[in-house]
């Protein structure tokens, strides 16, 4: 309870994931940078995780109700398609083996690592984990997003803002294309 008798809003973490040196893999980093230009409620924390997957796993155990991971997400759609994925259930989201390379961990690997870390730290896994992903066009070495992925950044930011204020409906389960960005 707060001093005014109201319950504090549950903590939310928004984490931009990706490698800015691999083209469209930098989508999550750019999206959270752009998200920083918007006012957010006090219970929302935004971080640029980049390629620090182990750091992200530990951070996710710090009492967050909801974690939004923002990342390039190859799902077979048109480049620039923004997806909203529900990754709350670790059994459906995590691979069987965990690659413990701190600079090359995918969000799936981070989610798989949570249970192991929570047992050792006493931290608790978030109640809800969502991924705002974007279909990449090019993840080869190079700095800068492709045209369709760059055009999708603003749509991803709008989606995240709707999720934070509660106007975006729950994903249920599985994958849902949120939108496909348009560009000139």
Its pTM stands at 0.77
pLDDT computed for residue 51 by the predictor = 81
Q: How confident is the model at residue 118 (pLDDT cuts 50, 70, 90)?
A: low
Residue 97 is predicted with a pLDDT of 43
Residue 48 has pLDDT above 50, yes or no: yes
Bridge partners (DSSP) of residue 147 are none
DSSP class of 80 = T
Mean pLDDT, to the nearest integer, of 88-107? Answer: 50
- Fold classification of 12-180 is Rossmann fold (3.40.50)
Q: What is the mean pLDDT of residues 67-89?
A: 91
Beta-carbon neighbour count of residue 171 at 10 Å? 19
Q: Which helix (H) or strand (E) holds 132?
A: strand 128-134
Q: Are 107 and 69 in contact (CB under 8 A)?
A: yes
What length is written for the chain? Answer: 184
Residue 138's pLDDT is 93
Contact 73, 135 (CB under 8 A): yes
> Is the per-residue pLDDT at 96 higher than 50?
no
**Residue 73: other Cβ atoms inside 10 A:** 24
Residue 113: pLDDT over 80: no
Contact criterion met (CB below 8 Å) for 151 and 89: no
Band of residue 106 on the pLDDT scale cut at 50, 70, 90 = low
Tell me 23's DSSP state. Answer: G
The domain segmentation of the chain, as residue ranges, is 12-180
**What 8-state DSSP symbol labels residue 10?**
P
Beta 44-50 vs 12-17: how paired, if at all?
parallel
Nearest to residue 56, comparing CAs of 15, 89, 100, 108? 15
| Alpha helix (H) residue ranges in 79-145 | 90-93, 107-121
């Amino acid at each position: 309870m707060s001093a005014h008798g109201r319950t504090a809003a549950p903590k939310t973490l928004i984490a931009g994931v990706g490698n800015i040196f691999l083209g469209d893999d930098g989508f999550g980093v750019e999206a959270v940078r752009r998200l920083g230009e918007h006012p957010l409620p006090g219970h929302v924390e935004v971080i640029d995780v980049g390629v620090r997957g182990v750091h992200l796993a530990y951070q996710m155990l710090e009492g967050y109700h909801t974690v939004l991971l923002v990342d390039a997400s190859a799902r077979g759609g048109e480049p620039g398609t923004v997806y909203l994925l529900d990754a709350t259930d670790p059994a459906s989201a995590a691979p069987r083996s965990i690659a413990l390379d701190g600079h090359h961990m995918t969000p799936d690997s981070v989610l798989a690592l949570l249970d192991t870390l929570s047992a050792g730290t006493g931290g608790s896994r978030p109640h809800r984990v969502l991924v705002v992903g974007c279909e990449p066009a090019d993840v080869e070495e190079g700095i800068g997003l492709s045209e369709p992925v760059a055009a999708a950044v603003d749509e991803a930011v709008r989606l995240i803002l709707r999720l934070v204020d509660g106007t975006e409906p729950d994903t249920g389960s599985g994958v849902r294309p949120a939108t496909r960005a348009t560009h000139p």
